Structure 1
Amino acid sequence: MSKEHMTITELSEYLGISEATVRNWIKLGKVVATKKGKKTVILNSEVQKLSESLNSSKMLTSRRNKSRLGLNYIPRSYISKKSPNYKTILSMIGTFQEEALEITEVISFCADMLMTSQGIPKEIRKSLLPDNSLGVNIKELFSSYKLIYVPFEDTLGLIYISLRRLQDKKATGSYYTPFYAVDLIINSLPDTSQNICDPACGTGNFLLRLPDSYPLEMVHGYDIDEIAIKIARINLAIKYRISTKKQLDIIERNIRCIDFLGSNEDIPKADIIIGNPPWGSSFSKEQVSELKKNFESILGKGKPESFDLFVERAVKSLTSSGNMLFLLPETILGADYHESIRRFIEKNSFVSEISYLGDIFDKVQCPCIILRLDNKRKDQITVRHYKKEKKELITCEREYVVNSHRINEKSFHILADNEQYKLIEKILSVPHFTLEGQADFALGIVTGSNRSVLSKTPFDGWEGIIKGSDIHKFFYDEPKSFAKFVPQNFQQVAPEHMYRSKEKLFYKFIANEPVFAYDSKGTISLNSANILIPRVPGYSALYIMAVLNSDLMSFYYRHTFKNMKVLRSAIESLPIAKCDNDTMNTISTLALDIADEKKTSSEKTSRLNALIDNLYSLDKNKFTFTV
């Protein structure tokens, strides 16, 4: 999820120093830099070496720590930046970096401060603290810092996450649930008090944000991180203002350090299971072998995905009328890799809600959803589409209810409301063909190193090469890059005849709708511009391109598929209307004219769209292709 390098500007911001200092270090050989195009960049491996050397040297003053930490070690949106504790935590972590301290010491100091402020008795505080041996040093270092108890805020969790990331030398790669995403799940819980469980609770941020009226004895949480579990217990002790040994026993009994996926311990059935299960956990061969004995959703030789396993175990751990609400990557709804968990869900539970959240994690392209499953039969699915308005605000733009027959193991995506779905059914009802088995596909060239293979100058024997950014509907821009076609110099390349075909279509690989351009010049392309050569008897490539580029097909695609990449499987399933030869020739001629004129919008484009609407028996005056 992170870049492989930093620019000088990014490194200076990361370290909290001037760009001039970074440039000077490069000259002195303290930082090894390289060229990427016109930019000087520093590989992440070099950044890590530098970071480690700085932590054990005096190359920078302490002001470096606070600036650097604020940008890289504080998980954004985990708590509100408006919190009175945010800047205090930033400073505390800066102090931690300057001194040789144990994480448990800092956590214990902060936890004791918060528990004392909320009147938790001394004996209970001592029982809950992860480290009871606080030295004079830690008290002196942090005595000036004052944390304020903020209801529902995982203050201690933020400190722990930040310290752990700092100690592990990992500035990227882990992303934590923004508080407003947690609240979307919490706010949709039923009003009745039922046994609730977060099976990967971490420091308890989901449980902490439950209504105060929720009975303590009904709150459960598990995690494999022992320190996180200790913090979760402290969080609940503060939330419920516990004062007795009986309450402490409830917390210690309900919040446990166990592996939800592999534990042999008796885990009680829950009425509600919530949370954000781990994504992309690594498992040893031995663990995979053991997991395969207990999980239906592990198929084939591929590595199991941890969030799939959590979903399966959650469904099995629910009461007969229970429900699960998990924050998950959107890929679980449609990717082939997750078809087995969708099949398990269809057999063992019912999808009742899907909320599309988009990219809720800062600077990370990983669209998320909230998936709600019910063990009690549900015939309808509520679908919501959210939009992130500001850093700490997410609002629902659309909501609709559809029949549950709309999903199957191939895809759980529901992107069209009922009116839009009628239009999709109308499109599918006309006589049509697809490209499955009737087209050749080829990947554009994978150079292995664009910098060494491409040139901005057309040398003798070099030719223009198309990129995805060059492609528009119907045409492509004149190439801005050039390459010499020597297959053995490339990392991956299709057979040359595919590129040299007398007639082919380029399509943009990264796009949210079909974008096809016509080529009859034998032009080569990079893998951001892939190739389609239709072979449908009686239908020209120009006709097929026109239909695929139409407003109608864009509507169909955007309400059927949801992927940042235009995949071959999606293209092969698009319904291309059959027509008579005269209509096909008329549309083909118009499409060629548009391609030759190289205009993205024109009177001819409007005429073409109208002709294609007629093919599907749609009257444009009676409907609009809305998003």
Structure 2
Amino acid sequence: MGKGQLSLFAEESDQMISIKEASHHVGVSVASINNWIREGLLNGEHKGVVSRASLDQFTTRMTGIGKLKSRANKLRKDQHDHIRLTDHILDAIQRGENGEKISQEYEQSLSESYRNREGVYYTPKKIVDDMFKQIKGDISAKSFLEPCCGGGEFVVAALERGFRPENIYAFDTDPNAIAITRHRVVSLTGEECKNIICGNFLLLSQSIDKKFDYIFSNPPWGKKADKTEKERWAQIYQTGSSLDSCSLFLAAALRVLNTDGLLGYLLPEAFFNVAAFADIRKTVLRNNIIQVADYGKFSTLITRAQSLVLSNSAPQEEVNCQIGATHYIRKQSSFSTLPQSIINFLTDSEDNDVISYLYTLPHRTLRGNARWALGIVTGDNKNILKAECGAEDVPIYRGRDITKNGFKKPTRYINRDLSHCQQVADVSYYLAPEKIVYRFINDSIVCCVDKSRSYILNSANLFIVEDSFPLTNQQVADMLNSDLMTWLFKHIFRTHKVLRGDLEQLPLFTGYFDVYSSFSEDSLLSYLHITRHDGTYRIKKIAFSNPFQGQGKS
């Protein structure tokens, strides 16, 4: 993720009690406080503040207060003394110690909670070197920008590649990161670099009248900030609903990239395949993508790191896709035609041809054709859920309890009065005579039709197909549970969560049930004129005038 962008957004108000103070008071994240405000559990009528009375009332009422305190204790343990760390880093710089070593020590000294909050994960040198392979030719007179320089890995690589110190510009809001980067430049060149500035690139880029030939960076990913402020930046940089900090920094960089200039960004896997990034992906696809690469996980990342290198020029067709030692070419237009403009570059061209073919066939989707609800958030599973069923209790199922054939035997029970739970959908959804429940935390679709009016926890979600849709709940579940749909889901979305937005994009071949009265995997493949091939699928080589001609009722 990014590197030390500490003050990206406006400061919080000090009226009533600030959201930050509230988070410290109960020992949870700022994001949790914001979620409770949105859910109506706390009074937060004014931006950035919350009613202290509502906070005290909520924490007193919540049976999970013990859990909140334990989280507070954990947060207190996961902290570092930033003042002492700063003194140590500046002393090391004054002693003239090795800049790379100082940078590594600084990163390793930052607490995990601090990194997560600020999006601070410095970039391994081998990844920077790989991204720089796309910089070719004589660049001695070219300009280079690093919007979020952190410990200076990209800046050092630019110097080693041949950029002149006076042509290198870098920003970061962390004074320590700036001090380290400047020290590394002086150590390498013997020159002070006046263009390495402690400041917020999102703000400063609006007044920069210079265009840059090369912009390479690892921006902050998922920096915690007030949603209103992110929406303000999104409006300025026209990122639509793409509010993540890495989207904002990419859009800001594109504003100051020269015509035919090169931009290289290290980004989270979600940037390429999650619906929240769809708008910024559309912006990216209006440029010429040169390479996308997957580097897996590094440091303490829980997501894969992937890079994007593009030119500020009209799109060309060939995109080099790199996954470890594997390289292949994809057509850039093949990304634009996918749902939500997903850049599924981990899928090779042959597999993507099958995906494109399936979307050309007659189909319907769940978008606008189902009612959706989330599983129950108790706020304190340990104390609210029970292993034995009491007189007032009913079964409640986790995601892992869902199979393609129904629920497993219940192992958890909950009081039928759900008023003590933190978040509950309209109870009528859970008690519907028929609904489809599915695992939420999963890398493939596992769902079943529930007719037992059962409750589910938030590791599962549900939807009910509208009566006007041409398929029944069971027919939809059969198709979603198919091997083909799992293959399609993994080759388009590749997420570890089954999101509503993704399910709403999958093609449901409603005409199949006009031909076949019951579902089977083989008959679905026959209907679609595709075949299994070495663990994947291929289009049958047939005369393609009417792929459904000649099939009768089964």
Percent identity of paired positions between Structure 1 and Structure 2: 23
Distance 1:383 1:550, change over 3 A: farther
The whole-number CA distance in structure 1 between the counterparts of 2:83 and 2:369 is 66
TM-superposed deviation, 1:481? 0.7
- State the Cα deviation string for residues 554-575 of structure 1 (Å, max 9, x = none): 1111122233321222222222
Contact 1:204 1:231 in 2 (8 A): yes
Instruction: Identify the residue that residue 184 of structure 1 maps to in structure 2.
Output: 130
User: Of residues 322, 326, 329 in structure 2, which corresponds to 1:400?
Assistant: 329
Matched residue type, 1:365: I
Partner amino acid for 1:262?
Answer: L
Number of residues of Structure 1 aligned to a counterpart in Structure 2: 470
Distance 1:545 1:220, change over 3 A: same
Residues 508, 350 of structure 1: CA spacing in aligned structure 2 closer, same or farther, 3 A cutoff? Answer: same
Q: Which residue of 2 aligns with 1:270?
A: 212
Answer yes or no: is 1:175 the counterpart of 2:175: no
* Alpha-carbon spacing, 1:239–1:252, altered in 2? closer, same or farther (3 Å): closer
Encode CA deviations 1:519-551: one digit per residue, 9 max, x unaligned. Answer: 333322112222233336553333222211111
Aligned counterpart for 1:253 among listed residues 175, 180, 194: 194
Q: Which residue is 2:170 aligned to?
A: 221
1:545 to 468, 472, 477: 477
Matches within 5 A, 1:446-525: 446-525=377-456
Corresponding residue of 1:556: 488
Change (3 A) 1:381 1:446: farther
Cα shift at 1:552: 1.0
Q: Secondary structure at the match of 1:511?
A: coil
Higher relative contact order at CA 8 Å, sep ≥6: structure 1 or structure 2?
A: 2
Q: Alpha-carbon deviation of 1:385?
A: 5.3
Tell me the alpha carbon deviations over residues 102-127 of structure 1, each in whole angstroms, 9 at most, x when there is no partner.
6565435433544xxxxxxxxxxxxx
Partner of 2:289: 351
- Structure 2 unaligned spans of 5+: 2-25, 29-62, 539-554
Q: Which amino acid aligns with 1:209?
A: A
Q: What code does the residue aligned with 1:110 have?
A: A
For 1:581 and 1:203, the matched residues in 2 are separated by 59
The verdict on how the C-alpha distance between 1:542 and 1:398 changes in structure 2, with shifts beyond 3 A counting, is farther
Deviations 1:24-60 (A, max 9, x none): xxxxxxxxxxxx99x9998242255578xxxxxxxxx
**Structure 1 residues 574 and 536, CA gap change in structure 2 (3 angstroms):** farther
Sort the Cα spacing of 1:40 and 1:316 in 2 relative to 1 into closer, same or farther, 3 A. Answer: closer
Amino acid across the alignment from 1:413 = I
Q: Do 1:413 and 1:561's aligned partners in 2 also have CA atoms closer than 8 Å?
A: no
Match of residue 618, structure 1, among 530, 541, 547: 530
**What amino acid does structure 1 have at the position aligned with 2:153?**
N
Quote the offset at 1:582 in angstroms: 7.5
| Aligned-partner SS, 2:293 | strand
Residue 157 of structure 1 is matched in structure 2 by 103
Per-residue deviation, 1:373 = 2.4
SS in structure 1 at match of 2:501: helix
Partner of 1:94: none
User: Does the 8 Å CA contact 2:344/2:492 hold for their aligned counterparts?
Assistant: yes
User: 2-side partners of 1:321 and 1:220: how far apart?
Assistant: 19
What displacement does 1:510 show?
A: 1.4
Counterpart for residue 384 of structure 1: 321
TM-score by length of 1: 0.65
- 2:219, 2:151 → 1: CA distance? 13
The partner residue of 1:411 within 341, 345, 361 is 341
Instruction: Report the residue type matching 1:268 in the other structure.
Output: K
1:46 to 73, 97, 104: 73
Match of 2:17 in 1: none
How has the CA–CA distance of structure 1 residues 48 and 565 changed in structure 2, closer, same or farther, with 3 Å as cutoff?
closer
Q: Deviations over 1:330-361 (max 9, x none)?
A: 333344444443444455x3333322334334
Question: How many angstroms apart in 1 are the aligned matches of 2:400 and 2:227?
Answer: 42
Residue identity in the other structure for 1:613: L
Q: Deviations over 1:482-507 (max 9, x none)?
A: 12222323333334443333433221
Q: In structure 1, what residue type is equivalent to 2:343?
A: H
Q: Conserved in 1, the CA contact under 8 Å of 2:447 and 2:477?
A: yes
Opposite residue 261 of structure 1, the aligned amino acid is L
Q: CA deviation at 1:320?
A: 1.3
Counterparts of 1:424-439 in structure 2 under 5 Å?
A: 424-439=355-370
| Distance across 1 between alignment mates of 2:227 and 2:246 | 18
Secondary structure (helix, strand or coil) at the match of 1:212 reads helix
Conserved? CA contact 2:435–2:464, under 8 Å: yes
- RMSD over aligned Cα, in angstroms? 3.9
| Equivalent residues of 2:440, 2:499 under 8 A apart | yes
Distance (Å, rounded) in 2 between the aligned partners of 1:519 and 1:402: 42
Equivalents in 2 of 1:314, 1:156: separation in Å? 28
- Structure 1 residue runs of 5 or longer lacking an equivalent are 7-35, 52-71, 74-96, 115-146, 243-247, 387-394, 588-607
Residue by residue, what CA displacement relative to the aligned partner does 1:372-398 show, whole Å, maximum 9, x if unpaired? 221122312525354xxxxxxxx3445
Instruction: Identify if the C-alpha distance between structure 1 residues 498 and 431 changes in structure 2 by more than 3 Å, giving closer, same or farther.
Output: same
Distance, in Å, in 2 between the alignment partners of 1:47 and 1:513 is 33
Structure 1 pair 170/360, CA: closer, same or farther in 2 (3 Å)?
closer
Give the counterpart letter for 1:255 in structure 2.
Answer: I
**C-alpha distance in 1, partners of 2:120/2:135?**
24
Partner of residue 461, structure 2: 530
1:198 aligns to 2:129 (yes or no): no
Query: Aligned to 2:319, what secondary structure does the other structure show?
Result: strand
SS at match of 2:392: coil
Distance 1:576 1:50 in 2: 49
1:331 is aligned, of 245, 262, 270, to 270
Deviation at residue 184 of structure 1 after TM alignment = 2.8
Confirm or deny: 8 A CA contact 1:514 1:554 kept in the other structure.
Answer: yes
TM-score (norm 2): 0.73
Displacement of 1:277 after TM fit? 1.8
Higher CA-based Rg: 1
